């Protein structure tokens, strides 16, 4: 059991998402100069109902990453790339749940948002040649970014970010 300073039980939240990027990442600087990259990840779930009909559900998660991890994600992620993101779920400050909005046709939509502390690039680097990012043919990391890498396999690489110190830096 994990105890906090007052002797009570410490709460813990962890979200892990594996899916494909729905668009190329977008990177910007916060007002304090910190780099933030965001992208959307689609997760698909397929099933066959009792009546034999196939069903499918797609859930989108908006992912924000900060610091060096944001820079690496901007360089190596692209629309369609399979990725694993681990971090924490972020609630909408107004609703306390997912962000709810209306699309152009007036339909209500909801999006889930997370801040990732760890991102794993999966599924190889099929677009690397057209993007000019691939040098070593394995992890998709160039020699300049090897120091940011904490684990490399034949088809995946993992980079961990530093923790976020202030809620004021979350760009929602």
Instruction: Please report which confidence band the pLDDT of residue 8 belongs to, taking 50, 70 and 90 as the band edges.
Output: confident
Q: Which of 68, 76, 91 is nearest to 24 (CA)?
A: 76
Cβ pair 93, 71 in contact under 8 A? no
Q: What is the DSSP letter of 161?
A: P
CB 28 within 8 A of CB 61: no
| 8-state DSSP, 77 | -
SS3 of the chain: helix, strand, coil, percent, to 5 = 15, 40, 45
pLDDT band at 125 (very low <50, low <70, confident <90, very high): low
Is the pLDDT assigned to residue 156 strictly greater than 60?
A: no
33-50 tens-digit pLDDT: 999 999 999 999 999 999
**Residue 43, exposed/middle/buried by CB under 10 A (0-12, 13-18, 19+)?**
middle
| Domains with residue ranges and CATH for the chain | 15-46+55-162 (2.40.50.140)
In this prediction the pTM is 0.67
Q: 92 falls in which pLDDT band (50, 70, 90)?
A: confident
Higher-confidence residue of 8 and 44: namely 44
Q: Residue 26 and residue 23: Cα distance in Å, rounded?
A: 9
CA 82/CA 75 separation, integer angstroms: 15
Structure tokens at 157: 């690489």
């Amino acid at each position: 059991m994990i105890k906090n300073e007052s002797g009570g039980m410490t709460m813990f939240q962890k979200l892990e998402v594996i899916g494909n990027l729905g668009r190329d990442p977008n990177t910007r600087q916060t007002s304090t100069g910190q780099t933030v990259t965001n992208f959307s990840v689609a997760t698909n779930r397929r099933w066959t109902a009792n009546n034999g009909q196939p069903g499918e559900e797609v859930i989108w998660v908006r992912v924000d990453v900060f610091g060096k991890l944001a820079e690496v994600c901007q360089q190596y992620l692209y629309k369609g790339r399979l990725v694993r993101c681990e971090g924490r779920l972020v609630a909408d400050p107004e609703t306390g749940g997912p962000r709810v909005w209306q699309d152009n046709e007036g339909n209500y939509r909801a999006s889930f948002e997370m801040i990732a502390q760890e991102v794993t690039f999966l599924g190889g680097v099929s677009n690397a040649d057209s993007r000019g990012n691939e040098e070593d043919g394995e992890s998709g990391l160039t020699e300049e970014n090897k120091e940011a890498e904490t684990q490399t396999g034949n088809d995946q690489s993992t980079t961990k970010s530093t923790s976020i110190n202030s809620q004021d830096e979350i760009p929602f």
